Chains A and B, each alone.
Chain A
């Protein structure tokens, strides 16, 4: 074989070796140091702090959840005696909506909040994420657990935070991650590319004034400094709704928000 072909073959082999030495496996992603949510230095006076509570409801008929076909992955299918269903719109009794992120928009820049150090857990069980929607603070640990007898990859797709994608075999240790920047409008979608029906949302805030509605559609946001705020509710199908609220010293205010069933999210 001529010399030039040998040189070319050597160059190809060297290139392949260099590329092979790269590659990313399950290396721990960079974890942002838990940051103070804001830098104002002032702490919220619990003697005068108030509370915002309320219920999120749906006006109209919710779409019927779709059955998820897990036949391609028997380890997933056997976890369900009846077909698993989508969770885009989860309605409770009296037209209440579950999985709605509710948060206060206002000027919290003068306050500092304690670092949230207790991990927030998301579990992969029955090849679905539990919870479907969660919220946490910047720098707060997220613990990803795999309770399934199959492999998942957990892949958040943020706009303002670092994207990551990690595999998690059955029985593996929880994956610990966090998000350095607030991202809640809209929240960060999370998916598993092994099981494309798996979907979740993570809202990240730099203050503690948020909640995710439970089965009864209710929310409670505590320790709110007196002031005027916008209460925003976000639902993955219906988008966002706002209402104003003024919280006086030690006052508890109720804010009920209703989504219309024929509206669609544009964010």
Chain B
């Protein structure tokens, strides 16, 4: 039992490390677009016919992004294999974790292919937008793996809360997460010139409303549950920051339009807006997962909690 607990905790730490590296990869990717460096390396998968081109100008961002992506790809392979081995030894109800690791690995392989296609076909907006969105989905998936392998998640809650209200907190969480994902797609489509800003602005209004509804409901119905209270507070903070960053990023793009090259303030604000969007998605999804873990809907049966596994077992 001690060995099983320790190996889950080790894979949890590795998942956290992978999620952190993925967040850094999101920054690297956003820097490529904001610096208009997406096509500074015309070939793929090599860069200027080699593994290490001169790291000058836009090549620094584009090839640097490829290097970080390769590193995260290696981490994903290790995570998938490790998770498969660890999860295979868990109780049957948790063995599905193996497939989440495989799914994450599949996602980053697909990301690599999409990235290559953006280069080979000169940044077609649908593929560039898919590449941007899948990056954020992959980040959320790895963060979810970290949550599922955490010691906290492994421990059965003593008494799950009940939710008798309508809509249920689960429904709110799913709707909010889906709305955030759609908003990220609209943002990516604007950033990669598929269409204008209006859909993304409308989406911002919808998402803000849903996040306030979701987070507000969490605080009202489950004020005594620390995890849900903190999640609600995080969602409030993130959406506030994201709205400010969105306005600032758009202003900076208009201001920078007359400059001969991307300027630091525009690059910083647009990159910050992109990665904060990823954090909003991750928070909404993980909060929804917490709701499923800690709260039972009105119609669900509540089973007697299993004996809690401890390190002494």
Residue of A nearest to B88 (CB): A2
Contact B43 A194 (CB under 8 A): no
Chain A stretch 155-181: residues in CB contact (< 8 A) with chain B: 155, 157, 163, 165-167, 169
Instruction: Return chain B residues, CB-CB under 8 Å to A16.
Output: 109, 112
Minimum C-beta distance from B65 to chain A (A): 13
A20 on interface, CB distance cutoff 8 Å: yes
**A151 lies within 8 A of B260 (CB):** no
Measured CA separation A197–B57 after assembly (Å): 11
Tell me the bound Cα distance from A191 to B261 in angstroms. Answer: 11
CB of B102 within 8 A of CB of A66, answer no
Question: Any chain B CB within 8 A of the CB of A47?
Answer: no
A interface footprint on B113-127 (CB within 8 Å = 1, 0 otherwise): 100100110100000
How many interface residues does B have (CB within 8 Å)?
40
**Is the pair B116, A23 in contact by a Cβ cutoff of 8 Å?**
yes
Q: Is the interface of B mostly helix, strand, loop or mixed?
A: loop
Choose the segment among B1-9, B46-54, B135-143, B291-299 that binds chain A (4+ C-beta atoms closer than 8 Å). B46-54
Complexed CA–CA distance, A155 and B259 (Å): 20
* Cβ contact within 8 Å between A193 and B36: yes
Residue A26 is within 8 A (CB to CB) of chain B in the complex: yes
| Bound-state Cα–Cα, A22 to B102, Å | 25
- With contacts defined as CB atoms under 8 Å apart, how many contacts are there between chain A and chain B in the complex? 106
Q: Which B16-74 residues sit within 8 Å CB-CB of chain A? A: 35-46, 48-49, 53-54, 56-59, 62
Please pick, from A23, A86, A150, A197, the residue contacting B56 in the complex, using a CB distance under 8 A. A150
Mask of A63-87 contacts with B, CB within 8 angstroms, 1/0? 0001011001101000000000010
Give complex CA distance A15, B73 in Å: 14
A165 to B121, CA, bound (A): 10
Interface hits, B132-174 → A, CB 8 Å: none
- Min distance, Cβ A73 to any Cβ of chain B, angstroms: 5
| Chain A: CB-nearest residue to B259 | A66
- Check A266 for interface membership: any CB of B closer than 8 A: no
Query: Using Cβ atoms and an 8 Å threshold, which residues of chain A touch B40?
Result: 153, 192-194
Question: Do A165 and B42 touch across chains, with their CB atoms under 8 A apart?
Answer: yes
- In the complex, chain A residues 1-32 whose Cβ is within 8 Å of any chain B Cβ: 1-2, 5, 8, 12, 15-16, 19-20, 22-26
On whether the beta carbons of B56 and A75 are closer than 8 Å, the reply is: yes
B250 at the interface (CB under 8 A from A): no
What secondary structure prevails in chain A residues at the interface with B?
Answer: loop
B residues near A75, Cβ cutoff 8 Å: 56
The answer to whether A196 and B37 have CB atoms under 8 Å apart is yes
Contact of B247 with A by CB under 8 A = no
* A195 lies within 8 A of chain B by Cβ: yes
Report yes or no: B84 in contact with A196, Cβ–Cβ below 8 A: no
Set of chain A residues within 8 Å of B46, measured between Cβ atoms: 23, 25
Contact in complex: A166, B54 (CB < 8 Å): no
- Which residues of chain A are within 8 angstroms of B57 by Cβ–Cβ distance? 72-73, 150, 194-196
The docked-state distance in angstroms from the alpha carbon of A191 to that of B123 is 14
B196: interface (CB < 8 Å): no
Q: Assess whether A68 is in contact with B261, with CB atoms less than 8 Å apart.
A: yes
Q: A19 touching B112 by the CB < 8 A rule?
A: yes
A19 contact set on B, CB distance < 8 A:
45, 112-113, 116
| B116→A196 contact, CB < 8 A | no
CB proximity of B153 to chain A, nearest CB, Å: 23
- A165 CB contacts on chain B under 8 angstroms: 39, 42, 122
- Residue on A nearest B120 in the bound complex, by CB: A24
What's the Cα separation between A86 and B122 when bound, in Å?
26
Chain B residues in 8 Å Cβ range of A157: 122
Q: A196–B36 contact, CB under 8 A?
A: yes
Contact present for A8 and B37 (CB under 8 Å):
no
Q: Which residue of B lies closest to A169 (CB)?
A: B48
Residue B105 interfacial (CB < 8 Å): yes
Q: Which residues on the A side are within 8 Å of B49 (C-beta)?
A: 25-26
B81 on interface, CB distance cutoff 8 Å: yes
Q: 1/0 contact trace for A137-159 toward B, CB 8 Å?
A: 00000000000001101010100
Min CB–CB distance B124 → chain A (angstroms): 10
Task: Decide if A167 touches B42 in the complex (CB within 8 Å).
Answer: yes
Contacts of A151 in B (CB 8 A): 48, 53-54, 56, 59
Q: Which residues of B contact A5 (CB under 8 A)?
A: 81, 84, 102
Q: By CB atoms of chain B within 10 A, which of A68, A75, A193, A195 has the most?
A: A193
**Is there a chain A Cβ closer than 8 Å to B240's Cβ?**
no
Residues of A bordering B, CB below 8 Å: 1-2, 5, 8, 12, 15-16, 19-20, 22-26, 66, 68-69, 72-73, 75, 86, 150-151, 153, 155, 157, 163, 165-167, 169, 191-197, 199
For the complex of A and B, 9 pairs with smallest distance between CB atoms = A193-B40, A194-B57, A197-B260, A197-B261, A25-B43, A196-B261, A165-B42, A193-B39, A194-B40
- Known contacts A153-B39, A153-B40; 12 additional CB pairs below 8 A are A1-B85, A23-B44, A23-B45, A25-B42, A150-B54, A151-B53, A165-B42, A167-B48, A169-B48, A194-B59, A196-B36, A197-B261
Give 7 pairs: A residue, B residue, CB < 8 Å, sorted on A. Answer: A1-B81, A25-B42, A66-B260, A68-B261, A167-B42, A193-B36, A193-B37
